[in-house]
Structure 1
Amino acid sequence: MKNFDYTKFADEKLLKYQFNKLYKICRSILGQGFRESLNIIGQNVDLNKKKIKSGTKVLDWTVPDEWNISDAFIISPSEKKIAEFKKNNLHVVGYSTPINKTMDLEELKKHIHTIPEKPTAIPYITSYYNRRWGFCMSHNEYMKLKKGKYKVFIDSEIKPGHLVYSDKLLKGKKKEEILISTYLCHPQMANHELSGPLVWSALYNILKETGPHNYSYRFLICPENIGAAAFLHYSKKKIKNIKAGYIINCVGHGDEFTYKKSRIGDTISDLAAINVLKHSKYSYKIVNFFPDGSDERQFCSPGFNLPIGLVMRKMYGTFKEYHNSLDDENFISFKTIIESIKIYHQILSVIDKNFIPIGRVQYGSPQLSKSKINLYSDIMNFGTKNKGEKTRFILETLNLSEGKLDLLQIANLKNFNLVDHFSTIEDLLKSKFIKKKK
């Protein structure tokens, strides 16, 4: 893993180019903005698109109509244009109905949203199922509004359409799958939107290029919540094969990592993420599952209870830029995104190479010096030199290779970074000191 060349998949210049193509598109859960964004993603990865009509019942949810918008603004009494959609599409409440009307300030204020405690930020507000219109602006701009007549204009359309998502499978040696999911429905925000699809796309290309792997990998990109519900609704047979998985979001800002556990709490997803993070150079924290935040509320709902976790940097809702215009192109770091790609790749590699080992020698310890592969020192000098990490890993692994614990459980029990010992595991297999439990 240390010698893996990520530059082909995660060069800062390439990531910035992909980001800039997507950033200012007005996305929502259904509509032209989502379709355009998905098509751009499809220039870099293989997609397998699915379409579901508005009004379709998926689990307990109903697919809404789609929303499209071409322009919106307010003209003040002094003829100044403010809250311009074309300058920042967060200025309009998502799914706003069309309007072309003149009104006084008192009436207008009923439809304006701000964040008083973040006076320079434009909030991100949506209303998918209840018809209304509205504008968002910074609280500083709101406080400058004068009495008088305001012209309010929103050129939008809400009509029956299709929910679109992509569900692409990279087949491996096993039918068992790892689910890699992200979403693409937030407008003009950087960390809590585009960082996820950028990491997701890079991982797809890395796994495609280096496969086939032991596990199959299912790559899902969809609108948040309703897209996950639709995937689950139509994939009840597929999801029986899901062994592990992650939802990728908020991976573009923060020096630390945050891991949110699956609902089960001790799945291979949880163990692999914690093993890699614990032995990385980054500070990290572990958060127990709670049924809110993003698509884990669907994947980890009682009837499905899938082994799905989230590896993030700063977790959603914990930074002041969350769901507002402060989460812009200056808030994220492409270096941070590349770090996130590397950590995710290590985690997936740990899962893919994990198995339950059974030692060839169960009575007594094996004579390692007999191996044609250099596994153990052929000179006894432990009085002056401590046994190295590789030797300790070999001895601990062989001692616990009785068909009960997998390699990841052994690594966590004995405080090893499993990524560092992939080649040693291969040597133990080649020398037939261990074999994989069937």
Structure 2
Amino acid sequence: MTEIHEGQKMYDLMERLFPICRSITGDGVRETFDILKEHISIQLYEVPTGTEVFDWTVPKEWNIKDAYIMDADGRKIIDFKRNNLHVVGYSTPVNKMISLEELQQHLYSLETQPDAIPYITSYYKERWGFCLTHNELKKLKDGIYHVVIDSELIDGNLTYGELILPGKTDKEVFLSTYVCHPSMANNELSGPVMAVHLAKWLMEKERKYTYRIVFIPETIGSIPYLSRNLDEMKRNIIAGYNISCVGDERAYSYLPSRLGDSIADRAALNVLKNSHPEFVQYSFLDRGSDERQYCSPGADLPVASVMRTKYGQYPEYHTSLDNLDLVTAKGLQGCFDVYKDCIELIEQNERYQVTCLGEPQLGKRGLYPTLSTKESGRLVRDMMNFIAYADGEHDLIDISNLIGVPVKELYPIVQRLMENKLLRIRD
């Protein structure tokens, strides 16, 4: 188990990013990338407003400087600078005096969570609005209010980032996360900070596979990315993960690719069943993030998701309660370790074949204990069971599942058998 300090580094990075008002486009996304680029060399790309990408069109760029609602006494009862969730995402500019009756048509709250500010957006229909707690809403009195949203919708660009880490082969493992939500910790920031630290870990490793790591606005970022890279991705990607909601300390979750049979799926299931058997397994019908695009017909990439609590399944989701108290260094560390185990398994997974006919004599190679104990018996049994299924047809994940031994415990067995030329990798 990696020490908790990696989780703390991720949490520290999250604290820096948390105040930034991000959306699917705009300066908040670029400011976020400026900070991420202090850690890894992300290449940035811009897609102009109006660009046709498959069935979608890249929207106008949105930026906001300030927003508030002021009552008749000159008191700001809602202030964007106190919490950027107070403004409906992509709100058009407004500056006028209105009655409470008219104002209420532009206010959003959650009666079932009266102390939470909801996260609301209107990307593809122009409107303006404010979000507030239901308790704040109930306190509003009849009168005239001054509403100000200092924003702009302009022909600009959608920004996304990419990092390619070459391996020994052009075959790729794909990691995707999103940078498009304002101040929410688990649903937004846990993904990018984890992707950054996975990239840093991978840069220190000898890599069999090439790693394609992308940071995009959700949905409207994955679609132009696919439109520019799909042929190469379909040719090269052998496994992928959409990284989101990886920072709380609740149960782990797994959401499969469209068919659920890719090496990404098999690796995730093997790791979770052996290390966190209490994990929650979802169906592809429960999808809701960028796996919708990556696994769509025509793309059909082998992209799964490993999460802590799945998006939409925790009460703080898409509210101001998804804050820095919900996410912890320990929670981040745990999912970081799971992802490392999944990647390590993908890197090492091969179909192995025994090189001799019949049961090999382990004793003359120093692989059989001269003193029989309960522990030595177990180790030999695991080795012999591995050999029994190392027929060139079963890969490492298959054998782990068949003999009920975690893959991590098979790595040293494989190494010793390979060193003694009792095992080969089948092409």
TM-score between the two structures when normalised by the length of structure 2: 0.96
Q: How many angstroms apart in 1 are the aligned matches of 2:404 and 2:218?
A: 37
Number of the residue aligned with 1:77: 72
SS of aligned partner of 2:253: strand
Number of the residue aligned with 1:284: 279
Number of the residue aligned with 1:146: 141
Please give the per-residue CA displacement for 1:213-254, whole angstroms capped at 9, x wherever unaligned. Answer: 111111111111111111111112221211011111111113
Q: How many angstroms apart in 2 are the aligned matches of 1:40 and 1:254?
A: 26
Q: How many angstroms apart in 1 are the aligned matches of 2:378 and 2:184?
A: 44
- The within-5 A match list for 1:215-230 is 215-230=209-224
Q: How many angstroms apart in 2 are the aligned matches of 1:292 and 1:402?
A: 37
Per the TM alignment, residue 375 of structure 1 is displaced from its structure 2 partner at its CA by 2.3
Per the TM alignment, residue 392 of structure 1 is displaced from its structure 2 partner at its CA by 2.6
TM-score between the two structures when normalised by the length of structure 1: 0.94
- The within-5 A match list for 1:226-305 is 226-239=220-233, 240-281=235-276, 283-290=278-285, 292-305=287-300
Q: How many angstroms apart in 2 are the aligned matches of 1:352 and 1:375?
A: 26
Q: Is the 8 A contact 1:390 1:421 kept in 2?
A: no
Number of the residue aligned with 1:367: 361
Number of the residue aligned with 2:46: 51
Q: Is the 8 A contact 2:400 2:410 kept in 1?
A: no
Q: Percent identity?
A: 42
1:322/1:5 CA distance change after superposition, 3 Å: closer
Q: Is the 8 A contact 1:276 1:419 kept in 2?
A: no
Q: How many angstroms apart in 1 are the aligned matches of 2:164 and 2:370?
A: 47
Question: Does residue 377 of structure 2 align to residue 378 of structure 1?
Answer: no
Please give the per-residue CA displacement for 1:123-152, whole angstroms capped at 9, x wherever unaligned. Answer: 101111111100000000001111111111
Name the aligned partner's letter for residue 238 of structure 1.
Answer: E
Please give the per-residue CA displacement for 1:28-57, whole angstroms capped at 9, x wherever unaligned. Answer: 010000011011111111212121111111
Per the TM alignment, residue 386 of structure 1 is displaced from its structure 2 partner at its CA by 6.3
* Aligned partner of 1:36 among 9, 31, 34: 31
Please give the per-residue CA displacement for 1:279-312, whole angstroms capped at 9, x wherever unaligned. Answer: 1156212111126410010011011111111111
Please give the per-residue CA displacement for 1:413-436, whole angstroms capped at 9, x wherever unaligned. Answer: 221110222122111112111111
Number of the residue aligned with 1:354: 349
Q: How many angstroms apart in 1 are the aligned matches of 2:270 and 2:286?
A: 24
Q: Is the 8 A contact 2:255 2:287 kept in 1?
A: no
Question: Does residue 90 of structure 2 align to residue 101 of structure 1?
Answer: no
Q: Which runs of 5+ in 1 are unaligned?
A: none
Q: How many angstroms apart in 2 are the aligned matches of 1:74 and 1:364?
A: 81
Q: Is the 8 A contact 2:252 2:276 kept in 1?
A: no
How many pairs align? 426
1:388/1:245 CA distance change after superposition, 3 Å: farther
Q: How many angstroms apart in 1 are the aligned matches of 2:236 and 2:286?
A: 23
Number of the residue aligned with 1:391: 380
Per the TM alignment, residue 5 of structure 1 is displaced from its structure 2 partner at its CA by 6.2
Q: Is the 8 A contact 1:256 1:282 kept in 2?
A: no
1:388/1:68 CA distance change after superposition, 3 Å: farther
Q: Is the 8 A contact 2:11 2:328 kept in 1?
A: no
Q: Which runs of 5+ in 2 are unaligned?
A: none
Name the aligned partner's letter for residue 157 of structure 2.
Answer: H
Name the aligned partner's letter for residue 245 of structure 1.
Answer: G
Moved more, 73-82 or 185-194: 73-82
Per the TM alignment, residue 78 of structure 1 is displaced from its structure 2 partner at its CA by 3.2
Name the aligned partner's letter for residue 232 of structure 1.
Answer: L
Q: How many angstroms apart in 2 are the aligned matches of 1:11 and 1:250?
A: 14
Name the aligned partner's letter for residue 416 of structure 1.
Answer: V
SS of aligned partner of 1:40: helix
Question: Does residue 83 of structure 2 align to residue 88 of structure 1?
Answer: yes
SS of aligned partner of 2:275: coil
Per the TM alignment, residue 388 of structure 1 is displaced from its structure 2 partner at its CA by 4.2
Name the aligned partner's letter for residue 196 of structure 1.
Answer: G
SS of aligned partner of 1:321: coil
1:340/1:388 CA distance change after superposition, 3 Å: farther
Per the TM alignment, residue 394 of structure 1 is displaced from its structure 2 partner at its CA by 1.6
Name the aligned partner's letter for residue 278 of structure 1.
Answer: K
Aligned residues: CA RMSD:
1.5
* Aligned partner of 1:123 among 114, 118, 122: 118
Question: Does residue 392 of structure 2 align to residue 403 of structure 1?
Answer: yes
SS of aligned partner of 1:235: helix
Q: How many angstroms apart in 2 are the aligned matches of 1:291 and 1:299?
A: 15
Q: How many angstroms apart in 1 are the aligned matches of 2:245 and 2:11?
A: 16
